[in-house]
Amino acid sequence: MKMRSAVFILTLALAGCGFGRVPAPPTVFDLGLDAAPVPALPSREPIAMTFQAVPSLSDTSVIWRVGDSAAPKAYATYRWASSPTELLRQRIAERLSRQGPVLNERVSLQTPQLQVFLSQFEQVFAADGSASEGRILLQAVLVQGRTVLGQKRIVAQADAPTQDAAGGVAALRQASNDAADQLAQWLAATLKPAPKAGG
């Protein structure tokens, strides 16, 4: 009984719920400026990128869950500035552009196209609420013409500094950078480097 009460109290605290109170305006987060170091990778030819996600990541909710629960929840008074889908797409495009142009559409069928599908972008708590992490899961497929050059499953996670929405956002910022860097490193290993000027 005590365990159930503790879980219930934790759920209310995490969701930011209150009884008999006028709800405060939501606090809005984004992924911050892209100021973290990036891996030193060779230049490459332009690529096109498409980005899709599960429907639950198409709005601005800040999502959390406990362990492997099949019941994700959203903080009541916290929101993303844009959908997680759009925020992560922008961060990945920013980081990949360090090695070469990232286009919205292919210039020709021979332009490599990176197809990204995002299935998880959330704060995941330990069962007792004592710790949490930001966790991102995405699948990437690289095609050129009608040929699949490769595919990559990327899992990025980072520990949250605090067990609340702000801590989850901080962890997801770090995990977003990690996911983008994993993609960049995979592309560098999969695609031929761009020819050197005058070479």
pTM: 0.85
Please state, in angstroms and rounded to a whole number, the distance separating the CA atoms of residues 26 and 96.
32
Q: Is the pLDDT confidence value at 5 over 70?
A: no
d(CA 52, CA 86): 9
Q: How confident is the model at residue 18 (pLDDT cuts 50, 70, 90)?
A: very low
pLDDT(40) > 90: no
Percent of the chain with pLDDT over 70: 87
Q: What is the predicted pLDDT for the residue at 16?
A: 53
- Once rounded to an integer, what is the mean pLDDT over residues 141-155? 95
Question: SS3 for 151?
Answer: strand
Residues 6+ apart with CB under 8 A from 5: none
Q: How far apart are the first and last CA of the chain?
A: 73
Q: What are the helix (H) ranges across the chain?
A: 2-15, 84-96, 165-190
Q: Residue 34 — pLDDT band, cuts 50, 70, 90?
A: confident
56 φ, ψ to 5°?
A: -65, -15
Residue 98: pLDDT band by 50, 70, 90 thresholds? very high
